[in-house]
Each structure stands twice: as C-alpha cells, then as structure tokens.
Amino acid sequence: GQQLNQSPQSMFIQEGEDVSMNCTSSSIFNTWLWYKQDPGEGPVLLIALYKAGELTSNGRLTAQFGITRKDSFLNISASIPSDVGIYFCAGQLGETSGSRLTFGEGTQLTVNP
Amino acid sequence: GAVVSQHPSRVICKSGTSVKIECRSLDFQATTMFWYRQFPKKSLMLMATSNEGSKATYEQGVEKDKFLINHASLTLSTLTVTSAHPEDSSFYICSASGVRGAYEQYFGPGTRLTVT
C-alpha cells in the first residue's frame, strides 16, 4: 500500500526561527493535507493542496504540492510558542468524501521561548 | 464552519463492559465519517469508514463485531466498543467529510478510553 515518509521526526527550535518539514510518497496523491495536533486533541486542518505545483499560504504557514505529486512540504515562518505540537501530512488519492487519508508519522515541534 | 464534536471526551470502564462514543458534525452534513485509533506518539490508524445509512467498511485486522459502528444520520455516527478489554484502551478520533461537497476530513477532539 501507499506509504508516507515524513521528516524530520522531531524539531527543537528557538522562537522566531523558521521551520520546514516534508513528506514523500512512493506513489502519487491527488490531494495533500497538513494537520496540527495538540496533546489530547484531534488534528486540525491547516492547509489543503489540490493541484501539483500549488503553493498555498495560511498566515505564517506555507505549503506546496510537489510537481511529481509524490511530495509536499510545510514551512512555518517566525515560529511562536503556540506552534508547539505534532504536524501530520496526509495524502488523499480519491476525490470524493469517502476517500481515505494516508498519514505520515508526524513531526513533533518544540519551540523554546 | 466544519466543526466536529465527540462525546464523551474521556471514559473509564471496567473490563467486559461496552462503551459508546458519539461523533457529530455540528454545522454541516457529513456524507462520510471515519473512525481512527491513535496510540501514544503514533500516527492515526484508520479503523473504519461509514456512510449514512450503509454498513461500515472496516480496515483489515479491525474486528467489526467488537467495534460496532452506526451511522444513522448525516450528522451522527457512533462507535461502540463491545466487551472492552485493557488492550482496547486508546485515543479514538472520528472525522467527517462532505463539507459543501468537498472531501477534506475534519476531525473531532477525540475520546480517551481507559479500560480497567
């Protein structure tokens, strides 16, 4: 089946620094999604990408859908303490509401004030 | 928009009893709902997919008689863990899809189940 490799597994940064994380897949996806999960909570959708090559921003977050459709990255600029959490990428092959997600293993982000 | 709730947020039950977890889409009609299980420091593992009025589709290795899923309406799905055992203790998260015809999944806040 499809697998997603997400890196890095964890990051420890200083407040104000920029962060970059990425996901690669052995096969293509038609949609890439980035979620953030706080401890004891469900994942929250940050950015959804629908077209190869698409670059989308949401505040300090920027994500891109790789042109090969097998990768995506997420950048966070000027990190703040509330950025702490686990970030998951997810790929979706189908384009219907019943399409399952394939998740990466997550990137644990720690921001030191 | 796209708010999903779960109830209860935490539950402790004795071994051998059954527990029901509710998942509701509060401001949209969810064509499809998904149930996930998450172990500590791990990613989300899909258990089953359900469409309103249809039987759920379970992932390989998930016992359908143990994890009963009912999707009676476009805003409510329930997961019942039957005859729970300590190894069923986990964080269960639902998601809903179908907002304005789109297909992104929006997640509930999760339910922490502890079986003693």
CA distance A18 to chain B (A): 24
Whether residue B94 has pLDDT greater than 60: yes
**pLDDT average, residue stretch B16-31:** 93
Query: Which of B8-17, B65-74, B103-112: highest mean pLDDT?
Result: B8-17
With a cut of 90, say whether residue B82 has pLDDT above it.
yes
DSSP A44: E
Q: Please report the pLDDT score of residue A62 as a whole number.
A: 98
pLDDT category of residue B103 using cuts at 50, 70 and 90 = confident
Residue B54 clears pLDDT 90, i.e. is over it:
no
Do B110 and A45 make contact, defined as CB atoms within 8 angstroms? Answer: no
Residues 43-82, chain B: which have Cβ within 8 Å of A?
A: 43-44, 46, 49, 51
Q: How does residue A47 score in pLDDT terms, banded at 50, 70 and 90?
A: very high
